[in-house]
Amino acid sequence: MFSVKRMASLAGGIMLAAALAGGSWAGWAQSAQPDAATGLPVIHTEHGPNSEAARKAHYVVLVSLDGFRWDYTKKYGAEHLLALGKQGVWAPEGMLPSYPSLTFPNHYAIVTGLYPEHNGLVANAFLDEEREAEGKLARYAISDAKAVTDGSFYAGVPLWSLAEKQGMRTACLFWPGSEAEIAGERPAEYLKFDDKGVDEEKRIAQVEAWLKAPEATRPHFITLYYSDVDHAGHSYGPDAAETKAAVVKLDGLIGKLKARLDGLRLPIDLIVVSDHGMVKIQQTVTLDAFADLNNFETTGPLLYGKTEADRAAAYEKLKKASSAFEAYRRKHVPAGLHYDENPREGDPVIVPTGPYAIRAHAPAAGKPDNGPVGQHGFDPRKMPEMKASFFAVGPDLVHGKTVAPFENVNLYPWIAHILGLTAPKSDGSLNVLAGTLRDGGETTKE
């Protein structure tokens, strides 16, 4: 165990790290330096070495291909991913994202085992009225570095924090939440999110460099992230040639990653997932056309009424306004969505009934109003296009196993088990994927 916060490192290191992190963190001993092998600006948290037990553990490389819809592999002939599925474990009918099927809520659900309303990230952007009343930073948005790096927005114990608490080093090459101190920990090594600035091939070289580190400092849990397929899906739609090209390109990178990992001759389980799928948008709906939202604060489609009377009045208007969405008082949102408990969800709650882009207000006059071609966020149980991808191969996994669609929160206890970590209770269960494990999910460690 080494959850103790370390002494501050050299002042120069702190200044460099502050520059790289946008100066938005404080009080944690960190330094950023170009990695000796890749030159990438890796931020180092002053963690101790792997414990004796951690050194004996296997390795997990968790890759996210953002927006990689469950059926893209076959649709676009992603041969490396299909090969992974054949060798290891695959969900040929896809994996179920948590609702809403958005990027940050789902990446963070995967690493915490908690539905968005339990992990805190109920959307990519939201308002926390309690924090607002306390005078704290209250608006979270994925584009706001200050919010994204503020650990107090996040609940749960992400896998990297869980591992670090249990004496195992981790490294994140991008993952929502990885730039914040959460549950008292940070990854031993991570990078500030810079999707354009960090070369995609170099990301693989960085993972390889981490895995070539001496046993004492070698991370056992590593994340890696690619956004290309999501970007193409948004810009051109899921059926476009550009989206196919992005799929083929990332499939090639997965092939390279697999070959490099094989070359290391370490017991590595490679897990490739996505956060959600993609669908072509048919219609844009603006909520203030149906109800007076003047007494509401809003973020995208989320509605925060000032008083109960405001919320009740808006609900009465919205509930019969359009076939493009259902309106619910928050406490009455269907239980299967797990979206009725957290005040960050607003009230009333709007749930789209089809591929419709929903927003509270149109952009201000003079501002562009051209939404993306493709979008996600919809209920994955009602809209199969929202389903995500899942592939895994490695020494802890059975060969040639397929699994039926399962909720992504179940990855958390499963990955913790592979790493020999004790996971706290979550919304996921090890039973769901136990059949994919060579040990059947039985605990033999300790």
The contact set with Zn ion (CB under 5 A) reads: 66-67, 103, 230, 275
**194 or 215: CB nearest Zn ion:** 194
**103 or 389: CB nearest Zn ion:** 103
**69 or 244: CB nearest Zn ion:** 69
Number of C-alpha atoms within 13 angstroms, CB side, residue 291?
Answer: 26
Give the nearest residue (CB) to Zn ion.
103
**230 or 310: CB nearest Zn ion:** 230
Among residues 41, 40, 24, 23, the alpha carbon closest in space to that of 32 is found at 41
**67 or 380: CB nearest Zn ion:** 67
The angle at the Cα of 329, spanning 328 to 335, to the nearest 5 degrees, equals 70
**CA 66/CA 243 separation, integer angstroms:** 12
**193 or 210: CB nearest Zn ion:** 193
In whole angstroms, the minimum distance from the beta carbon of 204 to Zn ion comes to 20
**230 or 251: CB nearest Zn ion:** 230
In whole angstroms, the minimum distance from the beta carbon of 407 to Zn ion comes to 17
**16 or 250: CB nearest Zn ion:** 250
In whole angstroms, the minimum distance from the beta carbon of 275 to Zn ion comes to 4
In whole angstroms, the minimum distance from the beta carbon of 234 to Zn ion comes to 6
**CA 178/CA 164 separation, integer angstroms:** 13
In whole angstroms, the minimum distance from the beta carbon of 75 to Zn ion comes to 18
**CA 382/CA 405 separation, integer angstroms:** 13
In whole angstroms, the minimum distance from the beta carbon of 444 to Zn ion comes to 36
**152 or 235: CB nearest Zn ion:** 235
The encoded tokens of residue 60 equal: 């997990």
In whole angstroms, the minimum distance from the beta carbon of 373 to Zn ion comes to 12
The encoded tokens of residue 110 equal: 């995967």
**CA 207/CA 173 separation, integer angstroms:** 8
**66 or 189: CB nearest Zn ion:** 66
In whole angstroms, the minimum distance from the beta carbon of 375 to Zn ion comes to 7
In whole angstroms, the minimum distance from the beta carbon of 64 to Zn ion comes to 8
In whole angstroms, the minimum distance from the beta carbon of 39 to Zn ion comes to 28
In whole angstroms, the minimum distance from the beta carbon of 357 to Zn ion comes to 12
**45 or 101: CB nearest Zn ion:** 101
Three-state SS for the chain is: CCCCCCCCCCHHHHHHHHHHCCCCCCCCCEEEEECCCCCCEEEEECCCCCCHHHHHCCEEEEEEECCCCCCHHHHHCCHHHHHHHHHCEECCCCEECCCCCCHHHHHHHHHHCCCHHHHCCCCCEEECHHHHHCCCCCEEECCCHHHHCCHHHCCCCCHHHHHHHCCCCEEEECCCCCCCCECCECCCEECCCCCCCCCHHHHHHHHHHHHCCCCCCCCCEEEEEECHHHHHHHHHCCCCHHHHHHHHHHHHHHHHHHHHHHHHCCCEEEEEECCCCCEECCEEEEHHHCCCCCCEEEECCEEEECCHHHHHHHHHHHCCCCCCEEEECHHHCCHHHCCCCCHHHCECEEEECCCEEEECCCCCCCCCCCCCCEECCCCCCCCHHHCECEEEECCCECCCEECCCCEHHHHHHHHHHHHCCCCCCCCCCHHHHHHHECCCCCCCCC
